[in-house]
Structure 1
Amino acid sequence: MKAISLTALGAAAFLSVSSAHAADVELRLSHWVPPTHPIQTLGIEPWVESIKQASNGRINITIFPAQQLGAAPDHYDMARDGIADITYTNPGYQAGRFPIYSLAEIPFHASNGKQAAKALHNWYAPLAEIEMSDVKFCLINPHDPGTLHSKTQVKVPSDISGMNVRPAHATMARFVNLLGGASVQVPAPEAREALAKGTADAITFPWNSIYIFGIDSETKFHLDMPFYISSQMLLLNKGMYDGLAPEDRQVIDDHCTPDWSQKFSTGWADNEYSGRQKMIDSPDHTVYTPTDDEIGQWREASKPLIEAWKEDVKAKGQDPEKIYADYVSALKELDSLF
């Protein structure tokens, strides 16, 4: 009986240790797009699975999509405050809060999403310690360059005058206003409704997400140029990160690298680019390629954004000339400068 009891106790202890190991780290990841969106299926899910495998199952991450834990603009604060352990955050949803990173939102810089993701990570990782010090920066996820989609045709900057445009982020809102338009600020999940109700006449959006969010029924004209990127991030709660065991913290570090930014972004970039060809092939859509002169007009119209950005960064005590030069250099180095 004594031998049986010892055996039972040993088995119970083994099960207890095994159960504890299986649930060593349970994390919650929050984002704000549908669970079927490529951000989740081609970016977040492979990243989560890789962490689980690399930690031998010690780290389990549960995904909460579609604003289940909080509204899209709140995701930075959700990471800071521990409402979620990891959040998918668009810094541009909060105007003026992250002036350094808003450089990535100025149009006509990034020519693609894949290499640009790695370039952005290389450029911004040390700068994140300056303006995002209350969270742990992990990786960057831009979409492949989006463009302007509208109910009536837009070819040159002056066509924006008098239009209501749903901008991708704060910098694009500033650009719309600069061109004489009015910005309609709604998160991506609410964009279709704004267009359907006539609150907005146009939207800046990546190509295939127009289909994913059902906006293709509302916008029929599309400007064929790498207009802008909206560059999201994965951010971690610092308390959670600092509290991990060293071996688990190393697993997270290994998944918060420039290479992972590119890997995380590749599937979504390819998916978004595929929407462009769908629209070209569709008889219901008009895709317009601007001339060199028209591209020049767009570039010229965007110059005040760069000057305003420099003033914002200077006001924060940073050197905008160096930061801008480093940004352009990082894009050039990875062949992703427009």
Structure 2
Amino acid sequence: MRYLLLLPIIAMTALSLVACSNASDADASESTTKSKEQTVLRFSHFWPATSSINQEVFKPWAKKIEADSNGSLKIELYPSATLSKPDVTYESTVKGTVDIGSQAHGYTSGRFPLTQIAELPGLSNSATQMSCILQTLYEDGTIAKEYEDSHVLFMYGAGPGTLHTTDKLIKTPEDMRGMRIRRPSAVAGDIIESMGASPVGLPANDMYTSLQRGVVDGLSFPWEAVTTFKIDEVTKYHTNIPFYSSGLIVAMNQDSYDALPDELQKVLDDNSGMALAKQVGEVFDKHDLIALQSARDQGHEVVDIPNPLNDPIWREPLEKGTQKYLKDVSDLGLDAQGVYEKAKKASATCEV
């Protein structure tokens, strides 16, 4: 009888233990779920998936951010302009269509007029120097106003843009007269025009077929990009001249950045800025040399003009193109000459 009286108490105790066990399991499950919560940021850029910039910079950068955040922050890469077109990637980032984007400044004509002063000939002789110049001008506030609608992660620059043609070796500015040359930016366009050639605007991803079909006779392109976009398959003549330099940016949507907790913002901040700018530059410089040697090894014709501003034949049209761009920017009511002087100072500081 005494045993029968105890049965309800035993049952209630067992049920209580089961409930506590279930509650404990639920708490553990919820805790595990929280520990696995992850913020995913979509990063759009135009470089091919196999390019050196994607393989040696962006992929390791994304992995480091994930590791430094203990898996709380993940960068998903979308190369080859699969998520946004090359010429609207910055605007797509500003609008939040993508969280992070990388674009060449010159792809959006007139959008970054002060920044593009750094692209003028004579300011940089390497991608590392160009990257340093851009990042310096951003950090000291000289060009920062052009990016108030985004959160800049880092600037970077490609190596000097040299001339690559399909049927004719360019040895003098006169050789360019009447040719159709792809222009990557307004800066390069003014210089190409000062040589008597016709600048043609085309994104990098369209260059191969345009050269193949004769839409253009040549282009101004950094050596690294020549192999990245397989331009060496359709051009056999190369004028190794520091014609201009291209500036690029990696920016983040401001709302996406602001939505992150402080510790994740710090992870991004710690993996941004000058260190990343120079890292990209070093990768470009390495592959510029490899691409140049590859052209020579293939038997292509290459002429070297290392210091065109000190060359009496090339100096005049280069200076003419430079002054035209500075005047156009001044006509917008901007201090073009002041920025140009600051860019020259940054160039001297960043020289490698």
TM-score by length of 1: 0.92
- The offset of 1:334, in angstroms, is 2.1
2:72: which partner in 1? 58
Answer yes or no: is the 8 Å Cα contact 1:141–1:231 preserved in 2.
yes
User: For 1:248-267, what aligned pairs fall within 5 Å after superposition?
Assistant: 248-267=264-283
Which of 79, 87, 102 is residue 88 of structure 1 equivalent to? 102
Answer yes or no: is the 8 Å Cα contact 1:75–1:87 preserved in 2.
yes
User: For 1:278-289, what aligned pairs fall within 5 Å after superposition?
Assistant: 278-283=294-299, 285-289=300-304
Letter in structure 1 aligned against 2:207: A
1:224: which partner in 2? 240
**Are the structure 2 counterparts of residues 267 and 290 from structure 1 closer, same or farther at C-alpha, using a change threshold of 3 Å?**
closer
Which of 142, 146, 154 is residue 157 of structure 2 equivalent to? 142
Which of 140, 150, 175 is residue 191 of structure 2 equivalent to? 175
1:332: which partner in 2? 348
Q: Deviations over 1:250-302 (max 9, x none)?
A: 1111222111211233223311221011112222x011123867834323212
C-alpha distance in 2, partners of 1:11/1:312? 68
Identity, % of aligned pairs? 26
3-state DSSP class of the match of 1:226?
A: strand
Answer yes or no: is the 8 Å Cα contact 1:118–1:259 preserved in 2.
no
C-alpha distance in 1, partners of 2:49/2:307? 39
Q: Deviations over 1:168-206 (max 9, x none)?
A: 222212221222211221111110100000001011112
**Are the structure 2 counterparts of residues 267 and 173 from structure 1 closer, same or farther at C-alpha, using a change threshold of 3 Å?**
same
**Are the structure 2 counterparts of residues 22 and 226 from structure 1 closer, same or farther at C-alpha, using a change threshold of 3 Å?**
farther
3-state DSSP class of the match of 1:27?
A: strand
**Are the structure 2 counterparts of residues 100 and 291 from structure 1 closer, same or farther at C-alpha, using a change threshold of 3 Å?**
closer
Q: Deviations over 1:129-160 (max 9, x none)?
A: 31121111111121222300012110121211
Letter in structure 2 aligned against 1:268: F
2:4: which partner in 1? none
3-state DSSP class of the match of 1:145?
A: strand
1:38: which partner in 2? 52
Q: Over aligned residues, Cα RMSD in angstroms?
A: 2.0
**Are the structure 2 counterparts of residues 290 and 91 from structure 1 closer, same or farther at C-alpha, using a change threshold of 3 Å?**
closer
1:20: which partner in 2? 34
Answer yes or no: is the 8 Å Cα contact 1:119–1:330 preserved in 2.
yes
Q: Which residues of structure 2 form unaligned runs of 5+? A: 1-14
3-state DSSP class of the match of 2:181?
A: strand
C-alpha distance in 2, partners of 1:55/1:26? 12
Letter in structure 2 aligned against 1:133: E
Letter in structure 2 aligned against 1:97: R
**Are the structure 2 counterparts of residues 144 and 13 from structure 1 closer, same or farther at C-alpha, using a change threshold of 3 Å?**
farther
Answer yes or no: is the 8 Å Cα contact 2:223–2:292 preserved in 1.
yes
2:250: which partner in 1? 234
- The offset of 1:71, in angstroms, is 0.9
- The offset of 1:73, in angstroms, is 0.2
Answer yes or no: is the 8 Å Cα contact 2:158–2:247 preserved in 1.
yes
2:134: which partner in 1? 120
C-alpha distance in 1, partners of 2:307/2:48? 37
Query: How many residues matched?
Result: 335
TM-score by length of 2: 0.89
Q: Which residues of structure 1 form unaligned runs of 5+? A: none
Answer yes or no: is the 8 Å Cα contact 1:207–1:273 preserved in 2.
yes
Letter in structure 1 aligned against 2:319: K
**Are the structure 2 counterparts of residues 56 and 299 from structure 1 closer, same or farther at C-alpha, using a change threshold of 3 Å?**
farther
> Is 2:89 the partner of 1:75?
yes
1:193: which partner in 2? 209
> Is 2:321 the partner of 1:309?
no
3-state DSSP class of the match of 1:140?
A: strand
C-alpha distance in 2, partners of 1:10/1:261? 49
**Are the structure 2 counterparts of residues 161 and 4 from structure 1 closer, same or farther at C-alpha, using a change threshold of 3 Å?**
farther
Letter in structure 2 aligned against 1:129: A
3-state DSSP class of the match of 2:46?
A: coil
Please list every run of at least 4 consecutive aligned residues from structure 1 whose deviation after the TM superposition is greater than 6 angstroms.
Answer: 291-294
**Are the structure 2 counterparts of residues 7 and 300 from structure 1 closer, same or farther at C-alpha, using a change threshold of 3 Å?**
farther
- The offset of 1:329, in angstroms, is 1.1
> Is 2:338 the partner of 1:322?
yes
Which of 285, 292, 308 is residue 269 of structure 1 equivalent to? 285
